[in-house]
Structure 1
């Protein structure tokens, strides 16, 4: 019996437990002291009570986070929530009944509703008898909770009051509600009611007169026609209004208005004061005699018609290069207000009045005028309606000394150029400032023309890490101009990005290095200097600094061996990396060949010196140089010795010079010299003797001998050198300074004493001829007989024998 009772007890317990599991019984109950909806920032306590004594725990959110709880009693725990910042979910679990569902609580956090902001109402008149009341407002702050808003409307018609009517709002941020009303309604009262789980608010009541908030619908616009200066627009309205406002713009940013009174519902209006060839946008709105303006209509657009260009082009030019006679003329693309139409081409005329015309495409901005270093160039712009006024530029300019003190300063992506005119300078007619990236004048030339009263301009849009050149032109009239040019202007700089590419050319013991400019994208500013690095095979390095404008450099005096050379470029901020190294070799043969040439020249000089010691060679050289003497020479017949000879013809004889030697003083037999005289024609000789046949082999020189016959070797002239006679003044004055004159003694070379030699040296010195110890005079030989008559020796014999 006891066993049966125990079995029934277990069965009942299992059955009850199974029943609980089937019905989903929870293991606990959870609640909050502030309820399930709380205000953000509030504090409260969450309690959890279990169905039995067990070790419980509380969690928050998903994924769950274990909370630090307090034990209230054996079956209850609690968690204090302080300054809640968002909605949360709390849950509790019991370890004893893990098979039961845990209990949980969702707590919503938010704010009570805010009073509506910017509450306003309008009455849209859609027909002449009725319209729609439209009210809008802003809900205020976000409550983070579900909020319900309603528009309440009360109407007054005569003495009758109707309402209030309730209309639910739509929208999220900006709420609105609409309510149909007859135009017979005179007054309305409106307000808004808002509520959520944390509270209820009501806006203040707004009272309106319906005529004060009446607004027509937006009108419709239709374009009829556009001319060059005005457009005709048709305005269509659903209801009759008293005012229409039309606005137009060319850029959809700045609108221009015109106010008109409406007489008819559908009418056309003229919008004037427009510019030719512009794309204009138009819009319109309308209003009753009272009330508010309607919404703007949809935009319509149209182009106005073209007109011929109104102004001349802005024209400038560059001076021709040194190797060219052509001039490049530039012009700026005219803006819409100048072109007054689509430019379809340009016309360039050269010369005046004989004009040579060239038609240029519309895309061109420059033209190279051939053979125009000194001419007048005229440029026109053409559209479908005609040509612009002519813009003339004269390449014939008279350059004068600059009279303006120009200064340059740089800013962030801008350059400021200012100048100050000298007090004594003439009044200028105007200024032109031009600028362009260094080395790209033809491609990117820019300029601005300034009035004579201006003294400064700011150039904007300057590229960073770019080097610029600029110039200021001061025009005093059409042709007179001064120019001040400056280079190396940059706003931002850094070290160059690369080094120059080097080329070498070895010549002997030197190397010529050439390089090209860095690409403008690698310069990173204005190049100030180049550095050349020369390194030999032992690693010894030399540096050479070169100015930025140079493109070649020669290194001389290099020893034989292997070398490498590289280069770098520098700006004002630093030096860039070096370029690729180029290797070259100085050959030993260069030095050997130089020494060989010097040796050969030395041998030749030594050979010539030794050769000149030969008497035959000296004689030939002497005869050769004699042939280059001038034909005008002193006349021996006018010498002092010849005059004395004519006075004492019968007594004169050629006596030897007395010397201090121990030789005999007795008179020796005169030495006779055989001379062959050849005919020679010369018109420059003061006395000329033509001989058709040679002289006898020997002629005795005695007192009876003809004085015109003289002893002489194969020279142009021979003068007797004696102790008693000197050259006359007449003879010396008649002697050409470039003539070569030889003198011999009357008693032959073998009888010359020391005193004779001294006198001979003195006289030779006076004649500006060979020195007294000339090698050509050491081996002269005499033979035959010579009279004192003026004779000529033909040098052709020398060349024939040669």
Structure 2
């Protein structure tokens, strides 16, 4: 859009035609034969400033095909002889306006067809001056001056934003001083506002200069969700009471929060804090704690807690990253165990904050039956401290924390796997956790114990460093693998011990066979006439279970190769098995 504004002080009369006023006397001369006359879609408005000066502004669409530099001027022609060109602009005047456009680079010029303007219907109102009168929790009151005819429109936006909101209704200009209330605003928020007006002509004024105003504070309307945990300091009897709450949303809480007042009974302790957590050193944990949010408007409703000293056990935590596919961190934990007398977990509180700025944090609430959540909108070049706490009504258990980033996932790695204990059926291992030394990203660490198809797998959690594998096979070589996802970081061989019972049983069997062979050898050397002196009871042997059993001798059993042994009974040794099993002596053999 090409636009030209001419002030009354710039106008000069043409000597050859007293009805014509121009800004450049060269426009008074005849048109060049090479000039072109076109019909331009000209629109004009008349304006009178606060100091009484008048002006005319005319504009027309810019030709999209024209890329040459040009200079435009306006020629005003009255229907009557002009006494003074400085007074030609007035609401009673009817003027014909001609635009002369000179092409500076290509040469030539264009003259528009005369455009008739009735200044009474082309008046542009003066730019209003807007003033802020006051505010409430959710509204601003503004005022400005305007003519008694026409109407005005109002717009507003939150400070430091670019999106304007147009007030839904036009304001009728029924008085010199107009007042309007902008409603449904946020509490304690700075807004900017502007106004524009038009008269009968339908031409809108310029928007007024922006004014700023701030709504008032509103007292927080909702109590906080407060949780606690009791930590025993030692044998002195004193304890640490950890309190934790979530920052309320201003839209939900009814207003912003400047700080929090924490009071403890029965000792009457009162303190104001700005963080979302605090720790109290208390001698008596059977107490009542009150936490209240406040701002300049006052104190909101209090959250009251009766402290339960039931201790809760913690769980395990791991974090993995899906970057660059997705800018998100997957937080996983296993079941948080509770004592049988403790209430069940009502939900989990997940908190994350940049390790560069620990004073600011964000929270999310996860249902009790869920063991994972996804944290989105995290920066790739930031590392975050992420904490998961189980909540039992208003009591939260021991939190688990872990650092992580999009680039590497959890900033911890498992190293130094080794065996510290072996039996015939168990293997005990230990490992260590250290700050991640490289840029690798691992979804999970595992230890795998394997022997052919016999395998046992263990997921590793950062708060664990020792584990025992049970129900293994004695005297068997196994392999222990430390895996980062499916990549082996180290392999440790280990062999279970011999089974002592099986070794003793084998030795016992061999000894019994030796005894049987020896007895048969003796019997084979005894004459038949003396065989009736042997009593069958003498060949009963007491077994391990204490029962009497016969030693059966086959007559056809081949004789021992030791036929030349002397029959002197002194050659029969005293045979002793394990003292807990059975003992054979010469007297028992007769």
Tell me: higher relative CO, structure 1 or 2? Use CA pairs within 8 A at least 6 residues apart: 2
TM-score by length of 1: 0.38
Larger Rg belongs to: 1
- Between Structure 1 and Structure 2, the one with more helix by share is 1
- Structure with higher strand content: 2
